[in-house]
Structure 1
Amino acid sequence: MKSIQSFLLYFLLFSACSSYSQNQKSKEFKVEFEKFTLDNGLQVILHLDRSDPVVAVALTSHVGSAREKVGRTGFAHLFEHLLFLESENLGKGGLDKMSARIGGAGANGSTSRDRTNYFQTVPKDALEKMIWAEADKLGYFINTVTEPVLSKEKQVVKNEKRQSYDNRPYGHTFSVISKNLYPSTHPYNWDVIGSLEDLQNATLEDVKSFYNRWYVPNNVTLTIAGDFDVKQTKAWVEKYFGEIKRGESIPKMEKQPVILTETKKLYYEDNFAKVPQLTLTWPSVYEYHPDSYALEVLASYLSKGKKAPLYKILVEDKKLTDAADVFQYNSEIAGQYMLGVTAFEKVNLNEVMEGVNEAFKNFETEGISQQDLDRIKAGQETAFYTNLSSVLGKGFQLAQYEIFAGTPEYINQDVKNILAVSTEDVMRVYQKYIKGKKYVATSFVPKGELTLILNGSTLAAVVEEKIVEGKEDSFDASIASTYEKTPSKFDRSMEPAYGDSPDVKLPSVWKSKLSSGLNVLGIENQEVPLVQFQLQIKGGMLLEESDKIGVSNMLAELMTKGTKSKTPEQLENAIESLGATINTYATDEAIFISVTTLAKNYNATMALVQEIIVEPRWDAKEFELIKQSTLSQILQQKADPNSIARNEFKKLIYGNESILGYNRIGTESTVNKITLEDLKNYYVKNTAPSVANFQIVGAISKTDVLNSVASLNKGWKSKNVAFPKITIGNTIASSKIYFYDVPGAKQSVIRIGYPALAATDANFYPAQIMNYRLGGGSFASQLTQQLREGKGYTYGISSSFSGSTNKGPFLISSGVRSNVTFESVNLIKEILQQYGKNFSENDLEVTKGYLIKSNARAFETLSSKLEMLYDISNYNYADDYAKQQEKIVKNSTIDAIKKLSENYLNPDKMIYLVVGDAETQLKKLSQIGFGEPILLNKTGTK
């Protein structure tokens, strides 16, 4: 979703690489790229990867919020939005409109303090189109920005700020820290998104000046990664980018580290918080500073896992929280080191601070062992390969080194720096940057709980926007831009033709049904030396008693907390020493064990998974920690409007008679009743290979997989598991509006829908085809075009059909500016009423173009292949179901879409839920035509 505001660019990538299969003999990844520079200064990096018929194109401008001026903040982020809207030759709708036709992976962008990037992965036959489009954005864009365009996009960015900062718990934390860690003259003093006041005051001339200064070829890097012809691609780059004029020289950003002369303690009463949160921030180092590598290890060691000093003191001993987090936020000219603790309800943050100091003293005494250092590095290696599983990830990393280290070649030095970290280095950087050093401490606490703040704290300055009914700039987004076109040596208005259509090959699937009943499916893929797999045990919340909802969720969490022969800490160390991750979690309908590991360590990792399944530990201490953590999650969800909307919508859709209407983690009442014995009973009764699927992808053969699960097949006892009949209402008799009051909410969270289809229903995929132009196609959808692009009401809106073997909901979801709640709901209703009636030949053409062409990149990553196996094993889909669905798309007609719309998009038979400020928004919703809104909670609303 545009845009992703990048607080943390947490790259654990050591290098960019060529296909693993090319280097198996040496077991070594090598950097394979070519870099050249056009006469106008554009840096171009090419990386070949022929593993899939796709190409990723990324345009990265070396401008972020740090290049802005005081009083004119937020411009870099604003341009991230603007550049997708229109350019002289792409026309209105810009790259978003073209993306829908060419089967792109969703044109997107992100902004950080130091750079803004624009990226997309497309089928290889659309590469020339992408180069043409990116060049049009860079050199032939600014004339299309008019007053109406600017006014509308200001509203979109404001909605993003409300959603990301103002309408969520702890949303202002980073802003408070930045303003107090960095002097007012420092370019990191303000948020990347900027201030709403600055944004509102921005003039068209301001915007054009910013663009002309920073969006020039000599400040931009173009990265192309994937399957392409190098000679032809170079010619296209020269043709489309070559005549764009070079800009003024760009000054290098000098390093500006900060030194705090005093510790600053600040507090804020958070309207959305239910529990207190303490964040400590120390001045640190810039990106790729020699000390950043040891600081990364220190962050991991202090906070991650059972052995972590902060975990031992804050979680296990003092029971003040369920987790502590330490991380680096390193940027181009400075950095900061952050420690965050979200405490349990009513916990005094002074106790948390005492615990932090105690943990630090223990670290000073004990240090870090070589074994723990090696364990952390193993995890970094796995993260490296995981991030290289897509061509876009490879392209990102090449651009990252080019811009911030001066050359992509730096990856070789980066590897050396990571591997060179010693235990002495870790202690040295702790003493240099943390021990006894000044810091910024922020205490964010619930309203009325000032007794919990850190002693000596002063009130933080936070700007709270007031939402006033009818007080927003008006604009007409339909007005076409009029401008004189920028001259060119050739006719740029002609969109390039497609290249040769890529030969899309579906992954080859193998299957095996074991004697225990375990269903095994796999795809061998040697692109990277990784294996990803998941064990799915069907059941989840479906097999729980309604008075003890949350059992499967707690069981899933407990499964990785030790085995019969290993303590929780021993199991954790065994996993991490292999560079593996084993995550267990529950859904409404299953428990999952999800694993990523290096191929060379697969067998050892699988042995641990078997222990987890057949030799549970049932650790009472861990059970109590999980119980307390779950209760805290439940409490925090009550403060988050999006969580409230999700939970209330489930209740309304499924009703009291269906277990699917419950929040899977439970309620305070149900969780408090759950005992360790309940988890044991669930495990004994409901976990069996006969209801399990084992799905695996990666650098491993079928033979090796089957050998690895032979012991599990023998040791995991079969049993019959009885599934209750799930009751789901067939229809909503008539639409009703429900309202959940969050006093003072800056946004209204909207959920609209009804129980629709199961994934096994014959109309499930046709309904998804029908939904593409409604709300499933992002910027190609009517909901986005009208509510975001046309009105500026929202930052994002979507619609979807979801289902399993059970019927799932049709859902429209969005967060809109509070003072246009009625207008938004009413417009959504109108769009639903007219969608089928107005569905056109162009709509069908765009839908078909996207859904067919996107198959070229549908199974690029290991995760996407794993998802394919999940669908095959759960819904009895054919191995080539993607090809079968392609035929359904090709055979779709306007009449068929209209019929589907009539059957599945009736706005008069849906649930309408709004979570927002009832005092200002409730009454007006009665004008929608569905009667008086039903208030779901009582908060003293007038």
Structure 2
Amino acid sequence: MNKLIPLSMLLGFTLPVLAAPTLVAEQLKEEGKLAIPYQLYKLDNGLTVILAPDRTDPLVHLDVTYHVGSSRETVGKSGFAHFFEHMMFQGSKHVGDQEHMRIINEAGGDMNGTTNKDRTNYYETVPANQLEKVLWLEADRMGFLLDAVSQKKFEIQRSTVKNERAQRVDNQPYGLVSEKVGEALYPRTHPYSWQPIGYVEDLDRVDVNDLKQFFLRWYGPNNATLTLGGDFDTKQALAWIEQYFGSIPRGPEVAEPTPKPVTLPETRYLTLEDKVHLPLLYISYPTVSLGDPQEPALDMFADVLGGSASSMLYQSLVKTGKAIDVGASHYCEELACTLTVYAYPNPAVDGSLKTLKGEVDKVIGEFAQRGLKPEDLEKAISSYRASAIWGLDSVSGKVSQLAMGQVFAKDPNYVFKTLDAISKVTPAQVKSAYDTFIANKSAVVMSVVPKGKGAWQVAKPNFVPAKRALPDYSKHDVALVERPVKDTFDRSVQPNMGGAVSVNMPVIWHGKLDQGIQIIGTQNDEIPAVSIIIALPGGMLAEGKGELGLANLTAAMMGQGSERLTEADLSDELRKLGSSVSVSSAQYNTLITISSLADKLPQTLALVQEVYQQPGLRAADFERVKAQLLQGMQQSQQQPEWLVSQAFRELVYGKQNRLGQPSDGTATDVAKLTLADVRRFYQRYYSPHNAKVVVVGDVTQSQLEAQLGFLTQWQGKAPTLGSLMPKGEQAKPGIYLVDKPGAPQSVIRIGRRAMPFDTMGDYFTAGLMNFNLGGNFNSRINLNLREDKGYTYGASSGFSANREAGTFATGADVRSDATVDAIRQFLQELDNYRTTGPTPVELAYMRSAVSQQDAISYETLDQKASFLLQMIMYDLQPDYVQAQTQRIKTVASAELKASAAHWLDPAQMVIVVVGDKQKLEKPLQELHLPIYPLQLP
């Protein structure tokens, strides 16, 4: 018998002995109790581990949350927690550059990371057989990130973060509101006085050594919570977690942060002149901190004040036409909470925010007499309970709730305790909180007004943030020593995936009602809830000449209640049930979307029946809703994304085609529409003839068909519908420049008209072809423009289509000074790819990634409903998924190259650029392409 020699003797050092994880707490499944079952463990190095097995779908979701956000940053180094999040995707000692995302994509998974003021988390959803691999990946960047950090990576990600800020903050209407309010609400030394995205000057100040120190200070296992949910064996998962994470040394001790709520000596007025159409009144009252006993009472006050269509603000301001939109919320963070009230006035009535502030103050003052009513609590409890249940619809939702509860409250099921706390709120508690924090109390009052409309502000600004006093960092930063990891195994070996998983395709049933109504459904009792989509033939397709937007306006009017119920009444009834019902217009259909708890479905459908058969369609509602839509259209035209999308639609489909116009119509047409037009559209196109119904959830076929019987009671003829097929050619190739003066970024959209939708033909093949061009994070386009050049926060490409037409488009939001070369890079990538097609490595990557995505594609009720909706709309058989999988395995490289050669010719593309014309017009001439100025309404 051969004697085994201990590995430690061969290596010449003593290897660490890893103790088994310690079980700290456990939540068992209890009948009738709303909670997520879990087990909580601690590793010797301080890592908190929460396991929540769920065998209903063949997937796992892993979340690693570090208790560090922007609130741990120091003055002058804002944005660093978020910046560091980007660096965590740039490879580690045993995982190459860009490999983390590539490995997850290749496994058919999905991943991302997020940073807020109080925490940073990283998460992956993958087929269950990839669990060991994702644990290996997360452990490698926890223990070995610094081995792969370089100055080049640091500079690229610094550019990426700057582009993200420009795209989300500086180039967006209202984008600076949170930043300006935070500066006024908190002292400059308070970490909530800056936003997680940070200031550009601070991002420029830090260097790669700051990054290394940040990692060593905050990214130890003792400051992390690993939460795993899904289809796994607990014993095996624990063994892998101990193997990959157990030997990572703990970092410096991290104290729990101390709450830092604030008070204001006086009301602070701010004004921001912005490129907006609608002024904005934004009021922030400082309150308590997360977990404070008064938090639930403040939540209830915000709900009564502005949380629904029956709220005090909505009824007083929106229903009277004084405001376009209003709302109130109490948002709690770890150090401090704020109660925020917002209101957009109706400029057609009075754009003055001073007048609006007086109206808001009046409503707030009225609460002193009104107080909290029993029905307020009933509606809130039902609504919050339904929201909690829907949060259990996915493994990721469960994991997220467990992780956040543990990190911030040391209780994984904290979310359900907050629901219990809400149910116990009393009128006296709400009145006390109102008196303490709201009534006649100081707040930050922000006025956002259109350029040149300073007279609309609430009051002359009376507050300027103090200049930040930047410390001498050489005296304050303490150098931290790297912590080497000693292992008993070779981490450079990537784990193999486990055995193939069986994809749980929904078991589908088909039904039929009178008048040609088709039903497709699947029964699922994972949560006691039901999701229903009723698709009535019509939508944009049914609009006539001169009435673009009528379908959208009619859908909006259907949400205003029935002959018996006002909008507020309908809102109240739905909230008491914990249900939601919405009506929307699509290209070929009007969609009625219903979400209900299973035990409330009969009552919910009774409300749907009432509104569907006896809509209110009141004149006063019509005038208000129409005004809201018109104001909203004008506001949309300030957004760069709307401008580039509309320009592209016009150029590709033509102004005369419905697809070439905005889905919500044109302001010219909507302004002329009458209530008679809406009633006519309702009578003609809300017919259930040939309707299609999708049902997913905890309900049987027989129950559902009986409850939907009201659809067959309609009296009338089936509507006659036309076509959306575009006529004529697309616009001439060239550059179409839409002027947005002063824009810090340019928004680029390059593309052409393409083919209609199919599941096995040219469209499906083109989608496979595009995967490596611009269809995933590691695509050629994104790696070039984001990861190599640092021009953008993200670049992509793809095909989209309906049953009659489609487009190919690629683009990005890029730095203004990079516009010309970004376009050049896009065109070169298109030309190169159409010449070569995918490489053998790219082909294998696509096959692996796309074919394994099914394992995570049918988990939630919404995912199942979308799958069934596509099936019923395109008359597909369930086995089309298997046929697509086979097609992915067998498609030849030559087929993909031929598809690329046909669709990716740059000479056939229109190029839309939304940016500062004065800065761009001359440099764009370097591309030697015709340049056409394009004026949008």
User: What TM-score results when the alignment is normalised by the length of structure 1?
Assistant: 0.92
Once residues 690 and 487 of structure 2 are traced to their aligned partners in structure 1, the CA distance between those partners, rounded to angstroms, is 64
Match of 2:406 in 1: 402
Q: Which deviates more from structure 2 when the two are superposed, residues 400-409 or residues 597-606?
A: 400-409
Q: How does 1:10-29 map to 2 (within 5 A)?
A: 26-29=31-34
1:408/1:330 Cα in 2 relative to 1: closer, same or farther (>3 Å)? same
In structure 1, the residue corresponding to 2:608 is in which secondary structure? helix
Match of 2:830 in 1: 832
Describe the shift of the 1:357–1:543 C-alpha distance in structure 2 as closer, same or farther (beyond 3 A). same
Change (3 A) 1:256 1:305: closer
**Distance of aligned partners of 1:720 and 1:838 in 2 relative to their CA distance in 1, 3 Å threshold:** closer
Structure 1 residue 79: deviation in Å? 1.1
Instruction: Decide whether the 8 Å contact of 2:277 with 2:450 is kept in 1.
Output: yes
Q: Closer, same or farther in 2 for the Cα pair 1:730/1:832, shift >3 Å? A: farther
| Mapping for residues 199-210 of structure 1, pairs under 5 Å | 199-210=203-214
> Which residue of the partner structure matches residue 751 of structure 2?
753
Instruction: Tell me the C-alpha RMSD between the 2 structures.
Output: 2.1
- Cα displacement (A) at 1:644: 1.2
| CA deviations over 1:714-733 (Å, ceiling 9, x no partner) | x1235222222333257658
Residues 462 and 452 of structure 1: CA distance in aligned 2, closer, same or farther (over 3 Å): farther
1:241 alignment counterpart: 245
**Aligned-pair distance for 1:302?**
1.0
Q: Residue 188 of structure 2 contacts residue 466 of structure 2 at CA under 8 Å; is this kept in 1?
A: no
What's the CA shift string for 1:364-385, capped at 9, x where partnerless? 2222321122012111111111
2:19 maps to what in 1? none
Q: Report the counterpart of residue 318 of structure 2 in structure 1.
A: 315
Is the CA contact 2:837–2:900 (under 8 Å) kept in the aligned structure 1? no
Equivalence for 1:324: 326
Q: In the TM superposition, what is the alpha-carbon distance from 1:452 to its structure 2 partner? A: 0.1
- Alpha-carbon shift at residue 497 of structure 1 (Å): 0.7
Query: What residue is the counterpart of 2:479 in the other structure?
Result: none
Superposed CA deviations along residues 473-526 of structure 1, whole A, max 9, x for unmatched, are xxxxxxxxxx99966432111000111211112101111121112121111110
1 CA distance for matches of 2:69 and 2:893?
45
**Does 2:186 align with 1:186?**
no
Partner amino acid, structure 1, of 2:56:
S
Which of 264, 271, 283 is residue 267 of structure 1 equivalent to? 271
Q: Check 1:17–1:423 CA distance in 2 against 1; reply closer, same or farther (3 A cut).
A: farther
- In the alignment, what sits opposite 2:303? 300
Q: Could you say which residue in structure 1 is the equivalent of 2:154?
A: 150
Alignment counterpart, residue 787 of structure 1, candidates 785, 788, 803 = 785
Give distance in 1, aligned partners of 2:794 and 2:676. Answer: 44
1:104-123 → structure 2 map (5 Å cutoff)? 104-105=109-110, 107-123=111-127
Question: What residue in structure 2 maps to residue 4 of structure 1?
Answer: none
Q: Write out aligned runs for 1:679-758 (5 A).
A: 679-713=678-712, 715-729=713-727, 732=730, 735-758=733-756
Q: Quote the residue 1:81 is aligned against.
A: 86
**For 1:557, what is the secondary structure of its paired residue?**
helix
Query: Corresponding residue for 2:647?
Result: 648
Name the SS for the 2:746 alignment partner. strand
Matched, 1:594 2:597: no
For residue 324 of structure 2, give the secondary structure of its aligned residue in structure 1. Answer: coil
Closer, same or farther in 2 for the Cα pair 1:462/1:612, shift >3 Å? farther
Which residue in 2 is equivalent to 1:90? Answer: 95
Matched, 1:124 2:128: yes
Alpha-carbon contact 1:738-1:912 (below 8 Å) kept: yes
Whole-Å separation in 1 of the counterparts to 2:436 and 2:293: 13
1:195/1:422 Cα in 2 relative to 1: closer, same or farther (>3 Å)? same
Aligned equivalent of 1:454, options 455, 458, 473: 458
Report if the CA contact (8 A) 1:16-1:394 is conserved.
no
8 A contact 2:530–2:699 mirrored in 1 = yes
Equivalent residues in 2 for 1:406-805, closer than 5 Å: 406-408=410-412, 410-411=414-415, 413-458=417-462, 488-713=487-712, 715-729=713-727, 732=730, 735-760=733-758, 762-777=761-776, 779-805=777-803
1:364-403 map, 5 Å: 364-403=368-407
Contact 1:730 1:755 in 2 (8 A): no
Indicate which of 814, 821, 824 corresponds to 1:823: 821
Look up the SS of the partner of 2:169 in the other structure.
helix
| 1:566 shift after superposition | 2.1
- Hey, what's the Cα distance between the residues in 1 that align with 2:108 and 2:216? 31
User: Which residue of 63, 67, 70 maps to 2:72?
Assistant: 67
Could you tell me which residue of structure 1 aligns to residue 60 of structure 2?
55
Task: Confirm or deny that 1:141 pairs with 2:140.
Answer: no
Q: 1:689 to 1:409 in 2, by over 3 A?
A: closer
Secondary structure of the structure 1 residue equivalent to 2:84: helix
Structure 1 CA distance for aligned equivalents of residues 715 and 514 of structure 2: 11
1:733-789 CA-to-partner distances (Å, cap 9, x unmatched) read 852210100000011111111221222372222211111111122x12111111111
State the SS of the aligned residue for 1:914: strand
Q: Label 1:880 to 1:429 Cα distance change in 2 as closer, same or farther (>3 A).
A: farther
User: Deviation of residue 835 (structure 1)?
Assistant: 1.2
Looking at structure 1, the residues matched to 664 and 605 of structure 2 have their Cα atoms a distance apart, in angstroms, of 28
**Residues 731/142 of structure 1: CA separation in 2 closer, same or farther (3 Å cut):** farther
Question: How far apart are the structure 1 equivalents of 2:644 and 2:718?
Answer: 37
Aligned equivalent of 1:472: none
Deviations 1:285-315, CA, capped at 9 Å, x for gaps: 2222222222222222211333211112211
Report the Cα distance in structure 2 between the residues aligned to 1:920 and 1:86, rounded to whole angstroms: 37
Q: Which residue of 2 aligns with 1:284?
A: 287
Is contact 2:725–2:804 with CA below 8 Å preserved after alignment? no
The counterpart of 2:254, out of the listed 250, 256, 262, is: 250
Comparing 83-92 with 557-566, which one deviates more in the overlay? 557-566
User: Structure 2 CA distance, aligned partners of 1:597 and 1:860?
Assistant: 18
Change (3 A) 1:551 1:460: farther
- AA paired with 2:203? L
Residue 419 of structure 1: CA displacement? 2.0
* Structure 1: distance between partners of 2:504 and 2:726: 39
For 2:280 and 2:731, locate their aligned partners in 1 and report how far apart those are by CA, in whole Å. 44
Partner of 1:851: 850
**DSSP-derived class of the 1:140 partner:** helix
> Does the aligned pair in 2 maintain the 1:732–1:910 contact within 8 Å?
no
CA distance in 2, matches of 1:484, 1:891: 48
TM-score by length of 2: 0.93
SS in structure 2 of the partner of residue 87 of structure 1: coil
- Write out per-residue CA displacement over residues 891-934 of structure 1, whole angstroms, 9 at most, x where no aligned residue: 11211110111122222111211101111112222332432x11
Q: Are the equivalent residues in 1 in contact too, given 2:35–2:413 (CA < 8 A)?
A: no
- Offset of residue 16 of structure 1: 12
Matched AA of 2:322 = L
Question: In structure 1, what is the Cα distance between the partners aligned to 2:27 and 2:440?
Answer: 42
> The residue matched to 2:607 in structure 1 has which SS?
helix
Partner of 2:17 in structure 1? none
**Identity percentage over the alignment?**
33
Quick one: structure 1 residues 368 and 486, their matched pair in 2 at CA, closer, same or farther if it must change by over 3 Å? closer
1:683 maps to a residue whose letter is Y
